[in-house]
Structure 1
Amino acid sequence: MPVFQYGTTEIEWMFKVDKKLSHHYVTVERGKTVLLRGPDVSEEEQLELIRYRARWIKQRLAEVNQPQKDEIVSGSRAPYRGRTFYCEVIPAPELSMVEVSFNQSRFKVLSPEGHFVSRDLFKAALERFYKQKAQEKIGSRIRHWQRETGLDATTYKIKKFEARWANCTDNDVLEFHPRCMEFSNNVMDYIIIHELCHTVEKSHNKVFWQLVTKHCPNWKELHAEVEHSGMGL
Protein backbone atom coordinates (compact mmCIF):
# COMPACT_ATOMS: atom_id res chain seq x y z
CA MET A 1 0.00 0.00 0.00
CA PRO A 2 1.22 3.56 -0.70
CA VAL A 3 2.71 5.66 2.10
CA PHE A 4 2.97 9.43 2.58
CA GLN A 5 5.55 10.75 5.03
CA TYR A 6 4.15 13.71 6.98
CA GLY A 7 6.87 14.88 9.35
CA THR A 8 7.60 11.92 11.60
CA THR A 9 4.26 10.28 10.79
CA GLU A 10 3.92 7.64 8.08
CA ILE A 11 0.43 7.73 6.59
CA GLU A 12 -0.33 4.44 4.89
CA TRP A 13 -3.62 4.32 3.04
CA MET A 14 -5.77 2.07 0.93
CA PHE A 15 -8.07 3.31 -1.83
CA LYS A 16 -11.60 2.07 -2.44
CA VAL A 17 -13.47 3.11 -5.58
CA ASP A 18 -17.04 4.20 -4.83
CA LYS A 19 -18.86 5.42 -7.92
CA LYS A 20 -21.82 6.56 -5.83
CA LEU A 21 -19.70 9.33 -4.29
CA SER A 22 -18.95 12.57 -6.15
CA HIS A 23 -16.15 13.55 -3.74
CA HIS A 24 -13.39 11.76 -1.87
CA TYR A 25 -13.63 10.96 1.82
CA VAL A 26 -11.00 9.87 4.33
CA THR A 27 -11.83 7.53 7.21
CA VAL A 28 -9.49 7.04 10.15
CA GLU A 29 -10.34 4.21 12.56
CA ARG A 30 -8.53 2.63 15.47
CA GLY A 31 -6.22 -0.20 14.41
CA LYS A 32 -7.08 0.16 10.71
CA THR A 33 -5.29 1.51 7.64
CA VAL A 34 -6.43 4.98 6.57
CA LEU A 35 -9.22 4.54 4.00
CA LEU A 36 -9.67 6.88 1.02
CA ARG A 37 -12.98 6.43 -0.83
CA GLY A 38 -14.50 8.06 -3.89
CA PRO A 39 -14.36 8.21 -7.71
CA ASP A 40 -11.50 6.33 -9.36
CA VAL A 41 -8.27 8.37 -9.53
CA SER A 42 -4.60 7.65 -10.10
CA GLU A 43 -2.20 6.97 -7.24
CA GLU A 44 -0.64 10.38 -7.83
CA GLU A 45 -4.03 12.05 -7.35
CA GLN A 46 -4.64 9.92 -4.27
CA LEU A 47 -1.36 11.19 -2.87
CA GLU A 48 -2.49 14.81 -3.34
CA LEU A 49 -5.77 14.05 -1.55
CA ILE A 50 -3.89 12.48 1.36
CA ARG A 51 -1.36 15.34 1.39
CA TYR A 52 -4.19 17.90 1.59
CA ARG A 53 -5.72 16.14 4.63
CA ALA A 54 -2.41 15.05 6.20
CA ARG A 55 -2.58 17.34 9.21
CA TRP A 56 -6.11 16.20 10.08
CA ILE A 57 -5.17 12.54 9.48
CA LYS A 58 -2.17 12.84 11.82
CA GLN A 59 -4.36 14.35 14.53
CA ARG A 60 -7.04 11.70 14.11
CA LEU A 61 -4.48 8.87 14.17
CA ALA A 62 -3.14 10.21 17.45
CA GLU A 63 -6.63 10.47 18.90
CA VAL A 64 -8.05 7.11 17.86
CA ASN A 65 -4.92 5.17 18.79
CA GLN A 66 -4.77 6.48 22.35
CA PRO A 67 -5.62 3.95 25.07
CA GLN A 68 -9.40 4.10 25.17
CA LYS A 69 -11.47 4.68 28.27
CA ASP A 70 -14.74 2.81 28.20
CA GLU A 71 -16.50 5.28 30.47
CA ILE A 72 -17.46 8.95 30.47
CA VAL A 73 -17.07 10.60 33.88
CA SER A 74 -17.28 14.14 35.25
CA GLY A 75 -14.46 16.07 33.61
CA SER A 76 -14.76 14.35 30.24
CA ARG A 77 -15.43 16.73 27.36
CA ALA A 78 -17.78 16.64 24.36
CA PRO A 79 -18.04 18.81 21.21
CA TYR A 80 -20.80 21.36 20.61
CA ARG A 81 -21.01 24.48 18.41
CA GLY A 82 -17.33 24.55 17.50
CA ARG A 83 -15.90 23.91 20.99
CA THR A 84 -15.62 21.12 23.54
CA PHE A 85 -17.34 21.43 26.91
CA TYR A 86 -17.05 19.92 30.37
CA CYS A 87 -19.35 16.99 31.17
CA GLU A 88 -20.90 16.64 34.62
CA VAL A 89 -22.13 13.08 35.18
CA ILE A 90 -24.97 12.82 37.72
CA PRO A 91 -26.31 9.46 38.97
CA ALA A 92 -29.96 8.96 37.98
CA PRO A 93 -30.95 5.37 38.86
CA GLU A 94 -34.61 6.15 38.20
CA LEU A 95 -33.91 6.59 34.46
CA SER A 96 -33.86 3.77 31.90
CA MET A 97 -31.57 5.62 29.48
CA VAL A 98 -28.90 8.32 29.55
CA GLU A 99 -30.09 11.93 29.19
CA VAL A 100 -27.86 14.78 28.01
CA SER A 101 -28.62 18.50 28.36
CA PHE A 102 -26.51 21.65 28.04
CA ASN A 103 -26.53 24.58 30.43
CA GLN A 104 -24.08 27.32 31.47
CA SER A 105 -21.25 26.08 29.25
CA ARG A 106 -21.32 22.47 30.41
CA PHE A 107 -23.05 19.21 29.58
CA LYS A 108 -25.25 17.69 32.26
CA VAL A 109 -25.31 13.91 31.87
CA LEU A 110 -27.93 11.96 33.84
CA SER A 111 -26.75 8.35 34.07
CA PRO A 112 -28.71 5.31 35.29
CA GLU A 113 -25.28 3.64 35.66
CA GLY A 114 -24.15 5.95 38.47
CA HIS A 115 -21.15 8.32 38.49
CA PHE A 116 -20.13 7.20 35.01
CA VAL A 117 -21.75 6.34 31.69
CA SER A 118 -20.61 3.76 29.14
CA ARG A 119 -19.08 5.37 26.06
CA ASP A 120 -21.56 3.78 23.64
CA LEU A 121 -24.56 4.86 25.70
CA PHE A 122 -23.17 8.39 25.98
CA LYS A 123 -22.56 8.56 22.21
CA ALA A 124 -26.18 7.58 21.53
CA ALA A 125 -27.49 10.08 24.08
CA LEU A 126 -25.30 12.85 22.69
CA GLU A 127 -26.61 12.20 19.19
CA ARG A 128 -30.18 12.42 20.49
CA PHE A 129 -29.22 15.76 22.04
CA TYR A 130 -27.71 16.96 18.73
CA LYS A 131 -30.85 15.92 16.86
CA GLN A 132 -33.08 17.85 19.25
CA LYS A 133 -30.90 20.98 19.02
CA ALA A 134 -30.67 20.71 15.23
CA GLN A 135 -34.47 20.61 15.01
CA GLU A 136 -34.68 23.66 17.28
CA LYS A 137 -32.00 25.80 15.66
CA ILE A 138 -31.44 24.95 12.00
CA GLY A 139 -34.91 25.95 10.79
CA SER A 140 -34.53 29.59 11.85
CA ARG A 141 -31.08 29.81 10.22
CA ILE A 142 -32.46 28.37 6.97
CA ARG A 143 -35.24 30.95 6.97
CA HIS A 144 -32.68 33.70 7.65
CA TRP A 145 -30.47 32.66 4.74
CA GLN A 146 -33.43 32.20 2.43
CA ARG A 147 -34.30 35.85 3.05
CA GLU A 148 -30.66 36.94 2.62
CA THR A 149 -29.96 34.95 -0.54
CA GLY A 150 -33.38 34.77 -2.21
CA LEU A 151 -32.89 31.00 -2.54
CA ASP A 152 -35.76 28.76 -1.47
CA ALA A 153 -35.84 25.19 -0.18
CA THR A 154 -38.99 23.08 -0.09
CA THR A 155 -38.42 22.11 3.54
CA TYR A 156 -35.70 20.56 5.66
CA LYS A 157 -35.16 17.47 7.78
CA ILE A 158 -32.58 16.02 10.15
CA LYS A 159 -31.11 12.83 8.74
CA LYS A 160 -28.13 10.69 9.70
CA PHE A 161 -25.70 10.09 6.80
CA GLU A 162 -22.81 7.68 6.64
CA ALA A 163 -20.28 9.91 4.89
CA ARG A 164 -21.63 13.45 4.53
CA TRP A 165 -22.90 16.31 6.64
CA ALA A 166 -25.77 17.54 4.49
CA ASN A 167 -27.65 17.10 1.24
CA CYS A 168 -30.12 18.82 -1.10
CA THR A 169 -32.54 16.41 -2.76
CA ASP A 170 -33.87 16.66 -6.31
CA ASN A 171 -37.02 18.17 -4.78
CA ASP A 172 -34.97 20.84 -2.93
CA VAL A 173 -35.43 19.30 0.49
CA LEU A 174 -32.41 20.16 2.66
CA GLU A 175 -31.12 17.36 4.88
CA PHE A 176 -28.67 17.79 7.76
CA HIS A 177 -26.78 15.27 9.87
CA PRO A 178 -27.60 15.81 13.57
CA ARG A 179 -23.87 16.03 14.31
CA CYS A 180 -23.78 19.30 12.35
CA MET A 181 -24.34 20.77 15.80
CA GLU A 182 -20.66 20.04 16.52
CA PHE A 183 -19.73 22.90 14.16
CA SER A 184 -19.48 26.58 15.03
CA ASN A 185 -22.28 28.96 14.00
CA ASN A 186 -20.21 30.29 11.08
CA VAL A 187 -19.52 26.83 9.68
CA MET A 188 -23.15 25.79 10.15
CA ASP A 189 -24.30 28.89 8.25
CA TYR A 190 -21.90 27.99 5.44
CA ILE A 191 -23.32 24.45 5.27
CA ILE A 192 -26.83 25.90 5.00
CA ILE A 193 -25.80 28.37 2.27
CA HIS A 194 -24.00 25.57 0.42
CA GLU A 195 -27.14 23.43 0.36
CA LEU A 196 -29.39 26.37 -0.55
CA CYS A 197 -27.16 27.01 -3.57
CA HIS A 198 -27.85 23.41 -4.62
CA THR A 199 -31.51 24.39 -5.08
CA VAL A 200 -30.27 26.30 -8.14
CA GLU A 201 -27.35 24.14 -9.27
CA LYS A 202 -27.09 20.49 -8.19
CA SER A 203 -23.50 19.95 -9.33
CA HIS A 204 -20.32 21.34 -7.80
CA ASN A 205 -19.47 23.17 -11.01
CA LYS A 206 -18.18 26.67 -11.68
CA VAL A 207 -21.65 28.20 -11.63
CA PHE A 208 -22.35 26.62 -8.24
CA TRP A 209 -19.15 27.93 -6.62
CA GLN A 210 -19.73 31.39 -8.07
CA LEU A 211 -23.13 31.38 -6.37
CA VAL A 212 -21.62 30.20 -3.09
CA THR A 213 -18.96 32.95 -3.31
CA LYS A 214 -21.65 35.57 -3.89
CA HIS A 215 -23.46 34.67 -0.66
CA CYS A 216 -20.48 33.50 1.42
CA PRO A 217 -17.22 35.20 0.30
CA ASN A 218 -15.07 33.40 2.91
CA TRP A 219 -16.47 29.96 2.05
CA LYS A 220 -13.04 28.40 1.37
CA GLU A 221 -11.93 28.87 4.97
CA LEU A 222 -15.21 27.41 6.29
CA HIS A 223 -15.23 24.61 3.72
CA ALA A 224 -11.74 23.58 4.88
CA GLU A 225 -13.12 22.99 8.39
CA VAL A 226 -15.82 20.75 6.97
CA GLU A 227 -13.32 18.84 4.84
CA HIS A 228 -10.98 18.33 7.79
CA SER A 229 -13.78 16.59 9.64
CA GLY A 230 -13.38 13.62 7.31
CA MET A 231 -16.87 13.93 5.80
CA GLY A 232 -17.97 16.23 3.01
CA LEU A 233 -20.95 18.09 1.59
Structure 2
Amino acid sequence: MPVYQYGATMIEWQFQKRPELKRHYVTVERNRPVLLRGPAVSEQEQQKLIRYRARWIKLKLEEVNQPVKDEFVTGSRLLYRGKSWYCQVEPALELKKPIISFNHSKFFIQSPEGRSLSKKALREARDVFFRQKAKDKLIPRIRHWQRQTGLEAVATRLHRFPRRWASCAEQNILEFHPRCMEFSPAVLDYVIVHELCHTVEKSHNQAFWKLVALHYPDWERCHAEVERLGVEV
Protein backbone atom coordinates (compact mmCIF):
# COMPACT_ATOMS: atom_id res chain seq x y z
CA MET A 1 0.00 0.00 0.00
CA PRO A 2 1.53 3.39 -0.99
CA VAL A 3 2.64 5.85 1.71
CA TYR A 4 3.25 9.61 1.66
CA GLN A 5 5.20 11.30 4.46
CA TYR A 6 3.91 14.71 5.54
CA GLY A 7 6.25 16.00 8.23
CA ALA A 8 6.18 13.39 11.00
CA THR A 9 2.90 11.95 9.73
CA MET A 10 2.91 8.85 7.54
CA ILE A 11 -0.17 8.87 5.29
CA GLU A 12 -0.99 5.39 4.03
CA TRP A 13 -3.69 5.34 1.37
CA GLN A 14 -5.78 2.90 -0.60
CA PHE A 15 -7.12 3.74 -4.05
CA GLN A 16 -10.63 2.75 -5.11
CA LYS A 17 -11.37 3.14 -8.81
CA ARG A 18 -14.80 4.76 -9.27
CA PRO A 19 -15.18 5.74 -12.97
CA GLU A 20 -18.68 7.11 -12.36
CA LEU A 21 -17.21 9.91 -10.21
CA LYS A 22 -16.11 13.09 -11.96
CA ARG A 23 -13.49 14.03 -9.34
CA HIS A 24 -11.45 12.43 -6.57
CA TYR A 25 -12.61 12.20 -2.96
CA VAL A 26 -10.61 11.51 0.21
CA THR A 27 -12.12 9.74 3.22
CA VAL A 28 -10.39 9.48 6.60
CA GLU A 29 -11.64 6.87 9.08
CA ARG A 30 -10.54 5.59 12.45
CA ASN A 31 -7.82 2.90 12.36
CA ARG A 32 -8.03 2.57 8.56
CA PRO A 33 -5.85 3.67 5.63
CA VAL A 34 -6.92 6.90 3.93
CA LEU A 35 -9.36 6.07 1.13
CA LEU A 36 -8.91 7.87 -2.21
CA ARG A 37 -11.82 7.36 -4.62
CA GLY A 38 -12.34 8.52 -8.18
CA PRO A 39 -11.44 7.98 -11.87
CA ALA A 40 -8.43 5.74 -12.57
CA VAL A 41 -5.06 7.52 -12.25
CA SER A 42 -1.46 6.40 -11.84
CA GLU A 43 0.10 6.01 -8.41
CA GLN A 44 2.12 9.14 -9.09
CA GLU A 45 -1.07 11.12 -9.71
CA GLN A 46 -2.60 9.58 -6.59
CA GLN A 47 0.36 10.84 -4.57
CA LYS A 48 -0.14 14.35 -5.94
CA LEU A 49 -3.78 14.22 -4.84
CA ILE A 50 -2.77 13.02 -1.37
CA ARG A 51 -0.03 15.66 -1.13
CA TYR A 52 -2.51 18.40 -2.08
CA ARG A 53 -4.83 17.35 0.81
CA ALA A 54 -2.02 16.32 3.21
CA ARG A 55 -2.58 19.04 5.83
CA TRP A 56 -6.31 18.35 5.96
CA ILE A 57 -5.66 14.58 6.09
CA LYS A 58 -3.19 15.04 8.99
CA LEU A 59 -5.74 17.02 10.99
CA LYS A 60 -8.50 14.48 10.30
CA LEU A 61 -6.23 11.57 11.27
CA GLU A 62 -5.50 13.29 14.58
CA GLU A 63 -9.21 13.85 15.13
CA VAL A 64 -10.52 10.38 14.31
CA ASN A 65 -7.66 8.47 15.96
CA GLN A 66 -7.74 10.31 19.27
CA PRO A 67 -7.56 7.94 22.27
CA VAL A 68 -11.00 7.01 23.61
CA LYS A 69 -12.25 4.79 26.40
CA ASP A 70 -15.98 4.25 26.33
CA GLU A 71 -16.85 7.01 23.88
CA PHE A 72 -18.15 7.35 20.33
CA VAL A 73 -16.22 9.82 18.14
CA THR A 74 -15.89 11.02 14.54
CA GLY A 75 -14.64 8.11 12.49
CA SER A 76 -16.60 5.52 14.44
CA ARG A 77 -19.19 3.56 12.48
CA LEU A 78 -22.83 2.57 12.82
CA LEU A 79 -24.59 -0.35 11.17
CA TYR A 80 -27.70 0.59 9.17
CA ARG A 81 -29.59 -1.21 6.38
CA GLY A 82 -26.90 -3.88 6.11
CA LYS A 83 -23.90 -1.54 5.80
CA SER A 84 -21.42 0.03 8.20
CA TRP A 85 -21.46 3.82 7.80
CA TYR A 86 -18.97 6.53 8.74
CA CYS A 87 -20.08 8.84 11.58
CA GLN A 88 -19.30 12.51 12.10
CA VAL A 89 -19.78 13.77 15.66
CA GLU A 90 -20.47 17.49 15.90
CA PRO A 91 -20.62 19.50 19.16
CA ALA A 92 -24.12 20.76 20.00
CA LEU A 93 -23.83 21.89 23.60
CA GLU A 94 -27.24 23.56 23.50
CA LEU A 95 -28.98 20.17 23.18
CA LYS A 96 -30.10 18.04 26.12
CA LYS A 97 -30.00 14.82 24.10
CA PRO A 98 -27.97 13.86 21.01
CA ILE A 99 -29.61 13.80 17.61
CA ILE A 100 -28.68 11.32 14.87
CA SER A 101 -29.36 11.99 11.19
CA PHE A 102 -28.34 10.18 8.00
CA ASN A 103 -27.71 11.64 4.55
CA HIS A 104 -27.38 8.43 2.46
CA SER A 105 -23.57 8.35 2.76
CA LYS A 106 -22.77 8.95 6.45
CA PHE A 107 -24.24 9.67 9.87
CA PHE A 108 -24.21 13.09 11.51
CA ILE A 109 -24.45 13.06 15.29
CA GLN A 110 -25.11 16.31 17.18
CA SER A 111 -23.65 15.74 20.63
CA PRO A 112 -24.39 17.76 23.79
CA GLU A 113 -21.18 16.17 25.17
CA GLY A 114 -18.93 17.88 22.61
CA ARG A 115 -16.77 16.01 20.10
CA SER A 116 -17.55 12.62 21.60
CA LEU A 117 -20.57 10.74 22.89
CA SER A 118 -20.92 8.17 25.66
CA LYS A 119 -22.07 4.69 24.62
CA LYS A 120 -25.19 5.04 26.79
CA ALA A 121 -26.21 8.32 25.13
CA LEU A 122 -25.47 6.79 21.72
CA ARG A 123 -27.73 3.79 22.40
CA GLU A 124 -30.61 6.07 23.39
CA ALA A 125 -30.18 8.32 20.34
CA ARG A 126 -29.80 5.33 18.04
CA ASP A 127 -33.03 3.86 19.43
CA VAL A 128 -34.90 7.08 18.60
CA PHE A 129 -33.41 7.10 15.09
CA PHE A 130 -34.21 3.43 14.43
CA ARG A 131 -37.78 3.79 15.73
CA GLN A 132 -38.44 6.60 13.28
CA LYS A 133 -36.84 4.71 10.39
CA ALA A 134 -38.84 1.59 11.32
CA LYS A 135 -42.05 3.61 10.94
CA ASP A 136 -40.85 4.86 7.53
CA LYS A 137 -39.45 1.58 6.15
CA LEU A 138 -40.41 -1.44 8.29
CA ILE A 139 -44.16 -0.85 8.59
CA PRO A 140 -44.71 -0.41 4.82
CA ARG A 141 -42.77 -3.65 4.17
CA ILE A 142 -45.01 -5.51 6.62
CA ARG A 143 -48.05 -4.32 4.68
CA HIS A 144 -46.36 -5.40 1.44
CA TRP A 145 -45.65 -8.92 2.71
CA GLN A 146 -49.13 -9.30 4.13
CA ARG A 147 -50.52 -8.63 0.66
CA GLN A 148 -47.87 -10.85 -0.95
CA THR A 149 -48.33 -13.86 1.32
CA GLY A 150 -51.97 -13.52 2.36
CA LEU A 151 -50.82 -13.87 6.00
CA GLU A 152 -52.38 -11.30 8.31
CA ALA A 153 -51.22 -9.89 11.65
CA VAL A 154 -53.68 -8.28 14.07
CA ALA A 155 -51.27 -5.42 14.86
CA THR A 156 -47.61 -4.44 14.66
CA ARG A 157 -45.52 -2.85 17.42
CA LEU A 158 -41.93 -1.86 18.10
CA HIS A 159 -40.43 -3.39 21.24
CA ARG A 160 -36.85 -3.44 22.57
CA PHE A 161 -36.40 -7.13 23.38
CA PRO A 162 -33.40 -8.07 25.54
CA ARG A 163 -32.29 -11.03 23.38
CA ARG A 164 -34.39 -11.38 20.24
CA TRP A 165 -35.22 -9.50 17.05
CA ALA A 166 -38.95 -10.06 16.75
CA SER A 167 -41.94 -11.99 18.07
CA CYS A 168 -45.44 -13.13 17.14
CA ALA A 169 -47.80 -13.37 20.12
CA GLU A 170 -50.63 -15.89 20.44
CA GLN A 171 -53.03 -13.14 19.38
CA ASN A 172 -50.98 -12.67 16.15
CA ILE A 173 -49.56 -9.34 17.24
CA LEU A 174 -46.13 -8.83 15.69
CA GLU A 175 -43.37 -7.03 17.58
CA PHE A 176 -40.02 -5.95 16.12
CA HIS A 177 -36.86 -4.70 17.81
CA PRO A 178 -36.01 -1.19 16.47
CA ARG A 179 -32.50 -2.47 15.69
CA CYS A 180 -34.01 -4.57 12.91
CA MET A 181 -33.15 -1.47 10.89
CA GLU A 182 -29.53 -2.67 11.03
CA PHE A 183 -30.46 -5.46 8.61
CA SER A 184 -30.14 -5.19 4.86
CA PRO A 185 -33.51 -4.84 3.07
CA ALA A 186 -33.42 -8.52 2.05
CA VAL A 187 -32.77 -9.75 5.59
CA LEU A 188 -35.40 -7.40 7.01
CA ASP A 189 -37.92 -8.85 4.55
CA TYR A 190 -37.00 -12.34 5.76
CA VAL A 191 -37.59 -11.36 9.41
CA ILE A 192 -41.01 -9.99 8.46
CA VAL A 193 -41.99 -13.14 6.54
CA HIS A 194 -40.67 -15.30 9.39
CA GLU A 195 -42.98 -13.60 11.89
CA LEU A 196 -45.95 -13.59 9.51
CA CYS A 197 -45.54 -17.36 9.13
CA HIS A 198 -45.91 -17.63 12.90
CA THR A 199 -49.47 -16.39 12.52
CA VAL A 200 -50.16 -19.86 11.08
CA GLU A 201 -47.50 -22.04 12.77
CA LYS A 202 -46.45 -20.94 16.25
CA SER A 203 -43.50 -23.32 16.67
CA HIS A 204 -40.42 -23.84 14.52
CA ASN A 205 -41.63 -27.18 13.22
CA GLN A 206 -41.24 -28.68 9.75
CA ALA A 207 -44.52 -27.16 8.57
CA PHE A 208 -43.32 -23.71 9.67
CA TRP A 209 -40.05 -23.87 7.71
CA LYS A 210 -41.86 -25.18 4.63
CA LEU A 211 -44.17 -22.18 4.84
CA VAL A 212 -41.20 -19.81 5.19
CA ALA A 213 -39.47 -21.43 2.20
CA LEU A 214 -42.66 -21.12 0.15
CA HIS A 215 -42.87 -17.37 0.67
CA TYR A 216 -39.14 -16.59 0.95
CA PRO A 217 -36.87 -19.08 -0.89
CA ASP A 218 -33.68 -17.26 0.17
CA TRP A 219 -34.53 -17.68 3.86
CA GLU A 220 -31.51 -19.82 4.86
CA ARG A 221 -28.90 -17.22 3.88
CA CYS A 222 -30.87 -14.48 5.61
CA HIS A 223 -31.48 -16.59 8.70
CA ALA A 224 -27.72 -17.14 9.06
CA GLU A 225 -27.17 -13.37 8.91
CA VAL A 226 -29.77 -12.78 11.64
CA GLU A 227 -28.06 -15.28 13.93
CA ARG A 228 -24.62 -13.80 13.20
CA LEU A 229 -25.59 -10.27 14.27
CA GLY A 230 -27.35 -11.15 17.53
CA VAL A 231 -28.86 -8.53 19.85
CA GLU A 232 -27.03 -6.71 22.62
CA VAL A 233 -28.77 -6.42 25.99
Please report how far the alpha carbon of residue 139 of structure 1 lies from its aligned counterpart in structure 2 after TM superposition: 1.1
Q: How many residues align?
A: 165
Name the structure 2 match of 1:90. 90
TM-score by length of 2: 0.68
- How many Å separate the matches in 1 of 2:153 and 2:82? 26
Q: How does 1:1-233 map to 2 (within 5 A)?
A: 69-230=69-230
Q: Which runs of 4+ in 1 moved over 4 A?
A: none
The Cα shift of 1:105 comes to: 1.3
What SS does structure 2 have at the residue aligned with 1:156?
A: strand
Cα deviation, residue 68, structure 1 = 7.0
1:122-141 C-alpha deviation (Å, 9 max, x unpaired): 12211221111112211100
TM-score (ref. length: structure 1): 0.68
Name which one, 1 or 2, has greater alpha-carbon Rg.
Answer: 2
Q: Report SS of the residue matched to 1:220.
A: helix
**CA deviation profile, 1:16-65 (whole Å, cap 9, x unmatched):** xxxxxxxxxxxxxxxxxxxxxxxxxxxxxxxxxxxxxxxxxxxxxxxxxx
Checking the alignment, whether the CA contact within 8 Å between 1:135 and 1:158 is kept in structure 2 is no
Unaligned runs of 5+ residues in structure 2 are 1-66
Query: How many Å separate the matches in 2 of 1:132 and 1:171?
Result: 25
Q: What letter corresponds to residue 208 of structure 2 in structure 1?
A: F
- SS of the residue aligned with 2:131? helix
Code of the aligned partner of 1:159: H
Give, as a single letter, the amino acid of the residue that structure 2 aligns with 1:148. Answer: Q
- The CA deviation at 1:218 is 1.3
- Assess if the C-alpha contact under 8 Å between 1:90 and 1:111 holds in 2: yes
How far apart in 2 are the matches of 1:223 and 1:104? 26
Match of 1:10 in 2: none
Q: For residues 138-174 of structure 1, give each alpha carbon's deviation from its aligned partner in whole angstroms, at most 9, with x where no partner exists.
A: 1100110011111111110000111110000111111
Structure 2 CA distance for aligned equivalents of residues 127 and 68 of structure 1: 23
Tell which has more relative contact order, 1 or 2 (C-alpha 8 A, sep 6+). Answer: 1
Q: Distance in 1 between matches of 2:227 and 2:200?
A: 23
Kindly tell me: are residues 117 and 195 of structure 1, through their superposed partners in 2, closer, same or farther at Cα, counting changes over 3 Å? same
Q: How far did 1:120 drift?
A: 1.7
Identity value in percent: 55
Unaligned runs of 5+ in 1: 1-66
Contact 1:71 1:119 in 2 (8 A): yes
